[in-house]
Every structure is written in structure tokens, then in C-alpha cells.
Structure 1
Amino acid sequence: MMQVLIIEDEPLAAEKLIKFLFTYDATIVICDTLASVETAVPWLKTNPLPDLILLDIHLADGLCFDIFKQVEVKCPVIFCTAYDQYALKAFQLHSIDYLLKPIQYAKLEQSLNKMKDMQYIKKPEVSNQQIEDIINLMKNQDSSYKSRFLVKLGTKIRTIKISEIAYFHSHDKLNLLVTKEGDRYPVDYSLDDLIQLLDPTLFFHINRKLIIHIDAVKEIHAYFKGRLKLILDPKLDEELIVSSQKTPLFKTWLDQ
């Protein structure tokens, strides 16, 4: 009976992983689902290690690699990432497995089979050197962030540079690119995929429905219980609140 810990800040992505795991093996036990470095570190320090961790690279309060700086993780880890095959070379070199987003069941099944096979040879673990290698290689891939998007409206097709974008917004089951001029275009990416493709120094994933460009923040107001209220330009026709959990990370992002 395999025990699995899921560390993923997107609830829908976590639910999808759980569904896939139960499809693979109905006896699998989900130890917990966590969404941040802040919650993962104390959990790993105070609970028995699971048989496997499914770990998203980008969490609510930073990169998952900060977990390994604070706690020793001596169990198999499968990383979930949207980085391309070149950046994933470090994972392959160190026999650490990964799932490329958007995650497909067949790929998860392949990874789980691989991890089970490796258990009979040598228990795969993650070392500090492996993590440093992965971070360094990923830093060298910063140029892979998208510089423009191809959009279509009716019969017209145009390219929009990153510098022209104010935010990405989910509305009525559509994901929209909104320009600084207020123009709106549907895009064929989920917000979860978009945040992996965008430069994190320029864009911030506020909530499940919104990713904003740093220049789109017009006003910031203190709100109840340590939260923040934002006014964007162009204006968003709904109240925009930064959660107390994300407020420290948001302030750090603004002050970089």
C-alpha cells in the first residue's frame, strides 16, 4: 500500500493527481495535500516520510527547492514542471523523475512504474547537490520564457509582446489575455500553464483566475486580516483581494 504526499498549489491540479493515483492503484493512501513551502516543511519534519512525494516546482510562496534547504527528504520525489526537455536534463542525469505539465495519466503511470522498479535496486533519494544542479540548469533556461503571444479574434491574427500585456484573466470558462489598452483576446493556455511560461519577475499569479503584469498594479490598499486590495489598469470589474498567505510573497515581488 503506497503512501503519497502531494505538494501542489493549484487545487484542480491536485485533484487531477489524486484521481490519476487512484486509477493507477485504488489502495494508494494520500497522506496529505499541501500548497506551500511554509506548510510542507513542518509537515515533513513532524510526520513519517511517505513512499513518494509528487511535488510541484512553483508553489504558492516560492520554489519547492526551498523545502530541501530546510529538511532532509529521504524518499522518492516526482517533480511536476512545465520546463522544456533541455532544462530537464538534470532530472535525467540524477534519475529523479518528473511530469511535464499539463500532466497526462499515461506519463504518471510510467513514472510510478519506474519508481516501483527502482525500489528493488536502490531507493531513489534527492540530495542537496542534485537540487543545486537542477536550480542552476533551470536558471540557465530563463531565456525560454515567452516573449510574445499569437492571438486570434475573428479572422484577424496578431502577435502581442509581453510588454503590451496587463494581465491574464479567466472569465466564463475562457482564459483571456488583456492588453494595457484594454483589448481582450482568448488564449489556448490554462493559467497554470501560463505561469510556467511567463517571467516571474514580471508576472504574479494572484489567484485561480488572474495573473498580472507588474505594471498593471495601479493602487494597493490595506485590507482586513493582513490582506491587500488591488486596483488594476485597465480596471478589472470584480474585487481583487490578495490573500494573507500570498501577501508577503506579493510584496517581495513588487520590491524586487
Structure 2
Amino acid sequence: MNALIIEDEKAALRNLKAIIAETGYEIAVVGETDSIWDTVEWLKNHSMPDLVFMDIHLADGSAFEIFHHVDITCPIIFTTAYDEYALRAFKVNSIDYLLKPITTADLIQSLDKLKRLEGKVATEEPGYLKLIRELQKQESYKTHFLIPAKGDKFIPIAAEDILYFYIAEGNVKAVDVNQKEYMFPQTLDELADSLNPHHFFRANRQYILSKKVIKDIDLWFNNRLSVNLKVPVAEKILISKAKVNEFKEWFTGN
């Protein structure tokens, strides 16, 4: 694996290279840069590496400026002394965000994560493009919602506390673990795209279900399934014949 290190502190650079050598991973450091423009020039004149180690505060400014000038299509491990940029980092191909001082154990954990992700995503495209898209998608799933309420207020709701979403009288609503009901401004299609598919399933046009709300499942007419919930609902929730196998794979998966 070829790696580029972007770091403007000589001591930090030496430490990172020593730690890389201790991880047991075969990583060749093919480039070292210490500024925005040095990095941009390097990336324009060399093949894209397999991995980038990137400090954020460089000699001539923020490393995020680099992304305005070149398209980095490989995974990035951020190495920084500042924790306030973590969310921004995960929008630009980051697989991990390590705070200095970095240890060998920290880096091994990051490289192990990269290896697991590579195992899940095919990489026939150059630059790990499929891997990066998968990472970006995972980081974009909603974990919390702010629901408008009376009196110019918002009610925070964690996605993990929602049992199911449904449509009633043209409105999208959600029921949480306390069986409280909330009105949502999004459409059911928008919610289906923003929720983690490991936890939520679009049962039909009316319902999105959390895995935790499912009590049991009945075989139904015409090779359909009828899903029974742990809480009362106003109507029967049916899975069409075309979606039965997808539903079974979702429910029994990790």
C-alpha cells in the first residue's frame, strides 16, 4: 500500500513514520508534503496513493483547502491535535480521525477498519471510489431529528428511539419507544433514503419499520407476509411477494 503523508511538524512526521513501521502493515510512504500548495502540486504530478495521512493545520492554512483544488479519490486518515473538525473530515473520504499523540494501537485500529471496508466493497474502480461512496453513505444516515413543535420550538428525537414511520391522512408520522406520536415534515421516500437500512425497512408505501418493533410474522395470501408489531397499529402491515426475500435478508442480517 502506497501512502502520502501531509504533515508540517517534523517531529510529528518522524513519529508517524515510526508508528507506521510498527503496525505490521506493508505501507510504503511515497510522498511527504507540509503545506496546501505543496500537497496540491504533489497530487497533480503523481499517481493517486492508496492512502493519505493528513494533518489539518498546515504551514499555509487549513488542509481542507486542498479539496478545492484537487480531487482526492483514496481513503484519508486524519492526524491532528484538534477535535473540532471531525464531522467535516468525514465528508471528505475520511475513514478515521486520530488525535495526537497517536499510538501504534490507534493506527492499527484505523488500518484494520480500512481492511474490513475493503473486504465489503469491490474495488475494481481506480482510487477506491466504491469504498469512498460507501463510507460517505454510511456517515450520512440520520441519527437524530429535530421535529417542529408549537411555540417556535423543536423536539429532538433519536432515530434509534423510533419504532416506525407511517402515512395517515396524507401526513407522515412516527411512533417512538414510548408510543408517542410525532408529525414529520419529510416524505416517507425522503426518510427511507436518510435512515440506516440495517435498522429500518420500507415495508410498503405506508410504513417504514424498525427491526426492534417487529413481534412476529405471519404467512399471508399470495405468498405475502403480514408483520405484527409489539405495539398496536390501525391496519395490517403487509410485505409484497416481490419484497419477501429482501425483507427476510434484512431482518436476519447484521
TM-score range, shorter chain: 0.3 to 0.5
TM-score norm. by structure 2 comes to 0.48
TM-score norm. by structure 1 comes to 0.47
If you compute each CA radius of gyration, which structure gives the higher value, 1 or 2? 2
